[in-house]
Structure 1
Amino acid sequence: MKHITFYLDFVSPYAWLALEQMPKALQGLSYHVEYRPVLLGALLQGNANPGPAGIPAKRLWTYRHATWLGKSLGIGLQMPAQHPFKPTPLLRLALAHGRDGGINRFVAQAVMQHVWVGGEDANDPQRLQRLRTLLQEQKRYDETGDEAKQWLRANTEQASKAGVFGVPAWEVGGHVFWGLDALPMLRSYLEGDSWFDTHWPAVAHVESGLS
């Protein structure tokens, strides 16, 4: 059984789509998933990447594309009232309902649905309280405490060291797969495709033509 670490941030519509699409994409395979919330903004900043929100035309395209993908995949997705928004409160809330920096699928889905279904403000205090009530049986720590803050920082650093530069991302066997459209490639790797033995490492030797 392969162990997969799934890095996600609730601010990403593609992470929501990937979370819902993953069971279908990997159906029939033997694997275990560890869900780890990370701070996407820190990963982007570490790579001097402004992200889609930093480019006005790309921001609009991202919203249109993600919404269309939700429709085409049959996954409910409505843009929240404000985006981008500060995801840190939701990330820490999720980690307070997890263990050792990981959360289970129920928590991941609940927080993602809070953001991406209904088109409301993701950080609205009343809505956040309803989310806490929904997750109350899963709670282990104080979301404003040091544990949640430390796990978020540790998860983000772990992801960066693994070579993760964005979300959604999956790390398995030292291989990082990024983006919703990488799910077929991830499946191929889990199935033991020999392509990965030669072609995966080969591209590391391609020289950059940029000065």
Structure 2
Amino acid sequence: MPRRVDVYFSLLSPWAHLGHAPFTELVAKHGLEVAWKPVQLGALFAETGGLPLGKRAVQRQRYRFVELQRWAAKRGRPLVLRPKHWPFEPDLADGCVLSLLEQGEDPAGFIGAALRAVWEEERDLTDRATLAELLAAAGHDAARTLAGAETPSTAAAYEANRAAAASGSVFGSPAYVLDGEVFWGQDRLDLLDEALETGRPPYTADF
């Protein structure tokens, strides 16, 4: 039986972009079942003590830019540090992922393309035509998916993911959850790989 990893993320996140390709390699390596869980980061930050970028101390903002450059180089990925259409309201784009899941389709290809669109190509993920193009290129029914992205059931699923993230000690994007153990950030993928390799029991915090 394949092991399952829950992935909490938003298409708003540069770290989700940098982690997407290496995570999909782990999926293939270990034959994982993946539960993709888009989450509204603003609401999650508000509940778990995080701050949007513009409200963080300047020292933290500067360090974030340095880390993005380090990890883009390490991952061998191009990355625009200040994309012209970022920050943006991610609900529609994230909702497309939820809509694909509702249709029983694998959203991984669209997720990767959408993240590249923001962080490499500086495209606007609030634009329906852009999303339709990305969905069609990934082999999905764009009109059906976009319609599904704006339904009450999708909004409810988005909120359920936020609640599950907070209750499961998730507070940022991306977070990979294996057997209840949270691996926060694409820089923890090596540790996730080791946990999968060894089959060790999950580490827990008893408070």
TM-score, normalised with respect to structure 2: 0.82
Paired with 1:145 and 1:29, the residues of 2 have a C-alpha distance of 34
Paired with 2:112 and 2:41, the residues of 1 have a C-alpha distance of 18
| 121-130 or 180-189, which deviates more | 121-130
Matches within 5 A, 1:122-137: 122-134=125-137, 136-137=140-141
Q: CA deviation at 1:149?
A: 1.0
1:150 alignment counterpart: 156
Paired with 2:8 and 2:109, the residues of 1 have a C-alpha distance of 15
Paired with 1:133 and 1:184, the residues of 2 have a C-alpha distance of 33
Matches within 5 A, 1:1-211: 1-24=2-25, 28-55=29-56, 57=58, 58-79=60-81, 80-99=83-102, 104-134=107-137, 136-137=140-141, 139-140=144-145, 141-192=147-198, 194=200, 200-201=203-204, 204=206
* Cα distance change of structure 1 residues 33 and 125 upon mapping to structure 2, 3 Å threshold: closer
Paired with 2:37 and 2:49, the residues of 1 have a C-alpha distance of 23
Q: CA deviation at 1:26?
A: 6.3
Letter paired with 1:146: P
RMSD value, Cα:
2.7
Q: CA deviation at 1:16?
A: 1.1
Letter paired with 2:108: R
Secondary structure of the 1:86 match is: coil
Provide, for residues 65-123 of structure 1, a one-character-per-residue CA deviation record: whole Å limited to 9, x for no partner. 22442233112322421432221121112222222798521122122122222123332
Secondary structure of the 1:98 match is: helix
Q: After TM superposition, where is structure 1 displaced by more than 6 Å over at least 4 residues in a row? A: none
Secondary structure of the 2:44 match is: helix
Contact 1:20 1:75 in 2 (8 A): no
Contact 1:34 1:103 in 2 (8 A): no
Letter paired with 1:45: A
For structure 2, the 5+ residue unaligned runs are: none
Which structure is larger by alpha-carbon Rg, 1 or 2? 1
For structure 1, the 5+ residue unaligned runs are: 206-211
Paired with 1:8 and 1:147, the residues of 2 have a C-alpha distance of 19
Contact 2:135 2:141 in 1 (8 A): no
Provide, for residues 105-153 of structure 1, a one-character-per-residue CA deviation record: whole Å limited to 9, x for no partner. 1122122122222123332454334335435437455222112211111
| 104-113 or 130-139, which deviates more | 130-139
Paired with 1:120 and 1:56, the residues of 2 have a C-alpha distance of 28
Aligned residues with identical type, % of pairs: 22
Query: How many residues are paired up?
Result: 201
| 155-164 or 82-91, which deviates more | 82-91
TM-score, normalised with respect to structure 1: 0.80
